[in-house]
């Protein structure tokens, strides 16, 4: 994340900061497109494109070295040390789950503490995580519920399978962590003032719904009895996502695609999106201080939505979405005239945005080849400058549109 440190440098050394920003933008644009497509678009050979990229990288490193010679900027854009990372836990516990072939561990960062804590997860193995991930993915694909709008038939065998997966997550990962933090000493409750825990799973665990972990055959044995869960793709995403100054007014563009027809894609209709936007509009009118922009059907073009995102603080996207396994920057949202991909969003370099509500399929599931932090759409929105992204991790956890509507009204979801 380049923007926040550059803002600091801009105050005292604007010329150097501008040079760095220019080179960084050129490098980002070069890296967000394949060399083949870039060469075709500007009519240069692949060798020339590669040579240009190396020149930009060399110039960027020279400017970094120059900045690090300045007083107060000795660690400019270097990987943050642990003493800096603990600042991410301002009002919550952050739990990083490291899943490695040799061992699995939890790293806990607590508010008010200047050191991190370690808990070995002795019953978790890399193979067990891979098997759980594989089983869930195969089941979702077999039953055709990877896309929003599809409904799960509640067959006993299917429910038993998912409950066993949630029990495994509870017994081997979530319960030991909550016990270590002292949460299990508290009386189980549905009180909205429960402590907040932000999960940062890595590797194969990035696919798994830690926020729903629990033994559903036993009372008081579910994570939401003891904590409110959210997710972060990286610790630096929490640090770099500084909220914009608080104001009384909120500006929200709400995008709805009830029926999307794009060549090469077979997308189901999403009749619930109309009710969804009607609910948001009603609430916006009740508050009286919300600038609500509705982009529905043919008005929700890629250009119109990008422009609205640039001028509004929040964004609500109710549409189909997809992950591109080969190139994560090509993952995006299905709009009226095409796919609004992460590459296009990130090129805008948004700053100080607020909430991104991604009411779309496949927005927080990662990809099979690249299951780690910054590969899914929710992570991409954080990296683009939004301070919070609320989304669904798996379609299977969102099978009842009436229930989904109630959750949206109350602001519940996976953050």
Task: Examine the pLDDT at 257 and tell me if it is beyond 50.
Answer: yes
Contact 413, 363 (CB under 8 A): no
6-20, 64-78, 138-152, 246-260: least confident range: 138-152
Q: What is the mean pLDDT of residues 347-363?
A: 78
pLDDT one-digit tens code per residue, 158-205: 566 778 889 999 999 999 999 999 999 877 766 668 999 999 998 888
Mean pLDDT across the chain: 79
Task: Examine the pLDDT at 390 and tell me if it is beyond 80.
Answer: yes
Q: What is the mean pLDDT of residues 62-68?
A: 96
Alpha carbon distance, N-terminus to C-terminus of the chain: 20
Matching CATH number, 242-410, of 3.30.450, 1.50.10, 3.40.50, 3.30.530: 3.40.50
CA dist., res. 315 & res. 141, Å (int): 29
In the chain, residues under CATH classification 3.30.420 are: 84-237
The CB-side HSE value for 109 (13 A sphere, CA atoms) comes to 22
Task: Examine the pLDDT at 61 and tell me if it is beyond 80.
Answer: yes
Task: Examine the pLDDT at 383 and tell me if it is beyond 50.
Answer: yes
CA dist., res. 332 & res. 311, Å (int): 20
- pLDDT given for residue 131 in this prediction: 86
Q: What is the mean pLDDT of residues 359-366?
A: 59
Q: What is the dihedral of CA 187, 192, 193, 194, to 10 degrees?
A: 50
Among 81-85, 158-162, 342-346, the range of highest mean pLDDT: 342-346
- Number of H helices and E strands in the chain, helices first, is 14, 13
CATH topology of domain 84-237: Nucleotidyltransferase; domain 5 (3.30.420)
Q: What is the mean pLDDT of residues 306-327?
A: 87
Contact 228, 215 (CB under 8 A): no
Structure tokens at 1: 């994340």
Any idea what DSSP says for residue 214? B
- pLDDT given for residue 269 in this prediction: 86
DSSP string, 240-251: H-PPPPP-S-EE
Helix, strand, coil share (%) of the chain residues, nearest 5: 45, 15, 35
Q: What is the dihedral of CA 70, 73, 76, 78, to 10 degrees?
A: 110
Q: What does the radius of gyration of the chain's CA atoms come to, in whole angstroms?
A: 22
Residues 319, 321, 325: CA angle, nearest 5 degrees: 180
Q: Which helix (H) or strand (E) segment is 72 a member of?
A: none
Task: Examine the pLDDT at 288 and tell me if it is beyond 90.
Answer: no
Q: From residue 373, give the alpha-carbon distance in Å to each of 110, 160, 177, 265.
A: 21, 29, 20, 27
In the chain, residues under CATH classification 3.40.50 are: 242-410
* Placement of tokens 């005239």 in the chain: 337
Task: Examine the pLDDT at 218 and tell me if it is beyond 80.
Answer: yes
pTM (predicted TM-score): 0.69
* Placement of tokens 């972060």 in the chain: 232
Task: Examine the pLDDT at 360 and tell me if it is beyond 90.
Answer: no
- pLDDT given for residue 4 in this prediction: 59
Task: Examine the pLDDT at 320 and tell me if it is beyond 80.
Answer: yes
Structure tokens at 177: 């962590």
């Amino acid at each position: 994340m380049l923007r926040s440190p550059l803002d600091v440098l801009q105050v005292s050394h604007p010329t150097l900061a501008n040079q760095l920003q220019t080179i960084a933008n050129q490098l980002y644009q070069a890296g967000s497109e394949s060399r083949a497509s870039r060469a075709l678009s500007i009519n240069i050979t692949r060798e020339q494109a590669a040579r240009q990229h190396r020149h930009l990288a060399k110039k960027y490193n020279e400017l970094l070295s120059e900045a690090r010679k300045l007083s107060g900027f000795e660690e400019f854009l270097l990987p943050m040390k642990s003493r800096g990372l603990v600042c991410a836990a301002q009002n919550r516990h952050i739990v990083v789950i490291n899943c490695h072939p040799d061992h699995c561990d939890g790293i806990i960062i607590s508010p008010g503490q200047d050191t991190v804590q370690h808990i070995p997860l002795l019953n978790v193995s890399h193979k067990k995580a891979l098997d759980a991930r594989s089983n869930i993915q195969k089941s979702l694909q077999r039953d055709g519920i990877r896309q929003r709008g599809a409904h799960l038939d509640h067959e006993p065998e299917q429910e038993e399978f998912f409950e066993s997966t949630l029990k495994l997550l509870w017994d081997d990962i979530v319960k030991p962590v909550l016990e270590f933090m002292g949460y299990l000493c508290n009386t189980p409750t549905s009180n909205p003032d429960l402590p907040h825990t932000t999960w940062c799973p890595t590797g194969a665990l990035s696919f798994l719904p830690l926020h729903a972990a629990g033994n559903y055959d036993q009372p008081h044995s579910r994570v939401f009895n003891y904590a409110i869960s959210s997710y972060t793709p990286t610790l630096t995403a929490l640090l770099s996502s500084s909220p914009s100054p608080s104001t009384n007014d909120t500006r929200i563009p709400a995008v709805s695609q009830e029926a999307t027809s794009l060549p090469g894609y077979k997308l189901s209709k999403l009749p619930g999106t109309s009710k969804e936007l009607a609910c948001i509009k009603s609430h916006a009118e009740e508050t009286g201080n919300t600038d609500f922009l509705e982009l529905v059907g043919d008005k929700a073009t890629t250009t119109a939505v990008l422009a609205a995102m640039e001028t509004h603080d929040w964004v609500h996207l109710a549409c189909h979405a997809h992950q591109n396994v080969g190139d994560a920057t090509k993952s995006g949202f299905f709009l009226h005239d095409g796919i609004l991909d992460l590459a296009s969003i990130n090129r805008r370099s948004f700053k100080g945005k607020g909430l991104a509500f991604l009411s779309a399929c496949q927005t927080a599931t990662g990809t099979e080849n690249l299951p780690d932090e910054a590969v899914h759409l929710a992570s991409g929105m954080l990296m683009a400058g939004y301070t919070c992204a609320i989304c669904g991790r798996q379609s299977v956890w969102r099978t009842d549109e009436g229930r989904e509507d109630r959750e949206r009204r109350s602001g519940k979801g996976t953050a």
